[in-house]
Structures are given as C-alpha cells and as structure tokens.
Amino acid sequence: MRALVTGAAGGMGRAIVAELEAQGHEVVGADLQGAALSFDQRDRDAAGAAVEEAAVRLGGLDAVIANAGVVDTIHRADRFPPLAWAKDLETNLTGAFNVVQAAYEHLRASASAAIVFVSSASAELGLPGQAAYTASKAGLVGLARTLAAEWGPQGIRVNVVMPGLIGTPKVRALPPALLDAMSKAIPLGRIGEPEDVARTIAFLAGPGAAYINGQVLRIDGGLGLSTASLATGGEG
C-alpha cells in the first residue's frame, strides 16, 4: 500500500506513519513542518501540489489518511472569535477535503483505494469550549459518508475514526490528577495510546477492511457509555 498521511509530525501522525511502515507499506508524511512534505492544507493549490509530489514519490496512491487538524483552539461559544472559527473549519474540514479531492484521480487508478478521516469522539459527545473543533470534526462524518457513496463505485472506500482521549504529548502534559480523573471516566480505565488509533487506521486502510465503507468507528475505550448500575451487589 502507498499512503499519504497528513498531520504526520504530531503525536498521532507519527504513530500512524510508524505503524504503516512497520506493516511494510510505503508512506509519505505531510504537515505544516517537520515532515517529508510541508504545506498548508487550507491552500487548495498547495494541497494539490503536495498530493502530486507524494504520488510521484510513491509511484501512485492507494490510501490517504486525513489526520491533520487544529486541536487547541479554545473559546466559549458565546464569544468565539470569527477568525478562530474560520481557521478551525478551514483546516479541519475544508483542508481535509482539499487533500482527498486532489488525490481522487490517483485513488481511482488504484486497485484497492481507501481514505480514512480522523475525526473525534467529541463530534458525537460535544466538547464545551471547542465549538469550532467539534463542528469541523462532525462535518468530516457527513463528508466521508457522501464520498463513500459517490466514490464507492470507483473502488474508493471512505471511513472515519473517532479517537477519544488519546495520550499524545499534549494530553500527557496535563496535570496528573486531571489525567487520573479523566481515565476513571472511561470504562476501560485508561486513556488510549496513539498506537491504538494507528492500528485501527491501518486496518481500515488495508485489505482486511475491503468491504467496509462509509462507517464511523469510535476508538475511545467506551467513553460516554453509562456506567450506572441497577445491581446492588453480589452476583447474578
């Protein structure tokens, strides 16, 4: 498999690239800086040029992992600055579309093509303080399902992963007490690791998921499930 991974310089992106390479796939990573290709995916022309360069380096494209995004814009919704709102939507949603649209012809030429969008569990659960982020990540779901229906006949599968609380460097930098409290809110009792997400993405992009199209998969340890119990003790 020949894959382009955006957001490759971040904690999640590095894990995705490492996992795909460990499985023997050819990968080109892209980011604003710190990756093999550097470009701003909000710029449609730059996205197109980067995709073409990746295709040349790899001799074609079989997969695009749309992982790049702005994750740390925080404002209360009643006073969310218009420019900050626009940046999140343009980067996380429009930018992702710019990349996959540019990759369409290459993917259509592949014998087994796949796109995986990296959304967020917050798109379904909400995340106070990050209205633009959650809106953009929810938008990826509608985009993915539309592309899955439209591009499926061309042999291009399109799916979405929704990571929950994942131990990227930014998350690990949070106060230990806060991380502990957040972990206890997850049924599996721990925050996820970037590798948990990377392995799932590798599966969705690979032959084991050849008949999976237009689906959304949460990678969150059960975050949001009700943990209240009617049982009062004992067994049965």
Residues classed as catalytic: 133
Going by the DSSP 8-state scheme, the letter that residue 7 receives in this structure is: S
- DSSP-assigned letter for residue 192: B
Q: Starting at the edge strand that comes first in sequence, how are the strands of the sheet with 216-219 ordered?
A: 37-38, 26-31, 2-6, 63-66, 113-118, 156-163, 216-219
Token pair, residue 29, equals 């990573």
* Residue-by-residue DSSP string for 52-109: HHHHHHHTS-SEEEE--------B-GGG--HHHHHHHHIIIIIHHHHHHHHHHHHHHT
Q: Which amino acid is at 138?
A: A
- What angle, 0 to 180 degrees and rounded to 10, lies between the N-to-C axes of helices 82-89 and 131-151? 30
Distance CA 149, CA 190 (A): 36
Structure tokens at 23: 């499985």
Burial class (CB in 10 A: 0-12, 13-18, 19+), 17: buried
Q: Which of 71, 74, 90 lies closest to 13 in space, CA to CA?
A: 71
Three-state DSSP at 110 gives coil
